[in-house]
């Protein structure tokens, strides 16, 4: 069987292919016919353009945030059956009509959650595992550098986890507006000259107990540590695209900071959850329960929705030009 899908044939060159082979699912795989896939612009731009720490072998298959129906299952699969609605972390499948996903990276989609919202499950898990590792206590202040999709979701989840004051920090006015729609208590444009003074006022010159860096920009780690309160936690949630250096003594040791690495794939257990370290399926299921009970705001994060027939051009526009669009949904039913 063959299907359509987006493939990056060479650096910076995504294209819609019509000849992608779909093998039989392996024993532990679920074959999913996609209804919606969500473009994770930050990660996919980095890999498509070959940024530092994101240099793939070409052809490269972009994308991983998907939702759809189960077509068939491998003989060892026990949690899913044909026709089930699911969301999945579909790495090496990405933006295509149909593909095989490991069972442990697949979760049931609640009946009242749309496929579009279900496609956020993978990024929701990314944000949730980072927030969970921060061990937020009721009443703490949280600051977020970088209001892309991961940053927006992390902010919302920090609110749910007990952070009484959330501060969104980003140079894009449009993204800061969306952050306000998604519940940010305060927003700061860090391209403005006085942003540090405003931040100090909002945190009573103490800094935030929790600082989450979602940017993937190595130099921002300096600002994140500077923004943290003494004894605070700094979570590196966005994947840094390169190296950085700063005064570790002054910004980390002297302040007794805890630096948390929070990679969504390599820093979580696979089959069993532990306190503050949950599996993909448990975190994704938790995220979707919040969506199903209307405790997360997702619609402002969807900046564009396109049919699969228009996906190649829309994908190029999104990844190869600098813009402030957040999420783009590809509809694979059309």
What pLDDT digit, counting tens, does each position of 168-226 carry? 999 999 999 999 999 999 999 999 999 999 999 999 999 999 999 999 999 999 999 99
Contact 268, 243 (CB under 8 A): no
Confidence of residue 106 (pLDDT cuts 50, 70, 90): very high
- How would you class 290 by CB atoms within 10 Å of its CB: exposed for 0-12, middle for 13-18, buried for 19 or more? middle
The closest alpha carbon to 143, from 179, 99, 96, belongs to 179
Tens of pLDDT along 53-84?
888 889 999 999 999 999 999 999 999 999 99
pTM above 0.85, yes or no: yes
Measured in residues, the chain has a length of 334
Tokens representing 69 are 């129906």
Say which residue, 239 or 229, is predicted with more confidence.
229
Sketch out the chain's domains with CATH numbers: 2-120+298-331 (3.90.180.10), 126-261 (3.40.50.720)
Share of the chain above pLDDT 70, in %: 99
Owner of token pair 């190029």: 316
Given this model, what pLDDT does residue 160 score?
A: 97
Q: pLDDT higher for 131 or 326?
A: 131
Tokens representing 236? 């590196």
Looking at residue 330, its pLDDT comes to: 98
How high is the pLDDT of residue 324?
65
pLDDT of residue 261: 94
Whether the per-residue pLDDT at 322 is higher than 80: the answer is no
pLDDT at 257 over 80: yes
| Mean of all residue pLDDT scores within the chain | 95
Band (pLDDT 50/70/90 cuts) for residue 323 is: low
Arithmetic mean of pLDDT, 164-169: 98
What is the three-class DSSP state of 216?
Answer: coil
């Amino acid at each position: 069987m063959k299907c359509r899908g987006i493939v990056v044939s060479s650096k910076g060159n995504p294209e819609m292919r019509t000849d992608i082979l779909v093998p039989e699912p392996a024993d532990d795989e679920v074959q999913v016919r996609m209804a919606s896939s969500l473009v994770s612009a930050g990660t996919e731009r980095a890999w498509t353009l070959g940024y530092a720490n994101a240099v793939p072998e070409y052809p490269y298959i972009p994308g991983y945030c998907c939702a759809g129906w189960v077509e068939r299952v491998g003989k060892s699969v026990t949690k899913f059956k044909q026709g089930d609605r699911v969301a999945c972390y579909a790495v090496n499948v990405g933006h295509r009509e149909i593909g095989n996903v490991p069972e442990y990276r697949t979760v049931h989609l609640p009946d009242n959650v749309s496929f579009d919202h279900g496609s956020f499950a993978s990024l929701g898990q990314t944000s949730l595992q980072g927030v969970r590792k921060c061990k937020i206590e009721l009443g703490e202040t949280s600051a977020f550098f970088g209001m892309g999709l991961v940053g927006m979701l992390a902010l919302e989840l920090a609110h749910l986890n007990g952070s009484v004051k959330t501060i969104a920090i980003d140079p894009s006015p449009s993204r800061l507006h969306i952050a306000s729609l998604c519940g940010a208590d305060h927003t700061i444009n860090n391209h403005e000259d006085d942003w540090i003074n405003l931040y100090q006022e909002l945190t009573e010159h103490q800094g935030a107990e929790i600082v989450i860096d979602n940017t993937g920009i190595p130099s921002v780690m300096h600002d994140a540590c500077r923004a943290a309160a003494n004894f605070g936690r700094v979570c590196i949630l966005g994947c840094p695209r390169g190296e950085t250096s700063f005064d570790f003594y002054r910004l980390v040791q002297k302040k007794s900071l805890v630096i948390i690495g929070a990679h969504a794939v390599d820093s979580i257990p696979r089959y069993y959850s532990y306190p503050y370290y949950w599996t993909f399926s448990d975190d994704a299921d938790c995220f979707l329960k919040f969506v199903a009970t209307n405790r997360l705001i997702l619609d402002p994060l969807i900046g564009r929705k396109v049919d699969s027939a228009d996906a190649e051009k829309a994908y190029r526009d999104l990844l190869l030009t600098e813009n402030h669009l957040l999420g783009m949904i590809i509809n694979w039913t059309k």
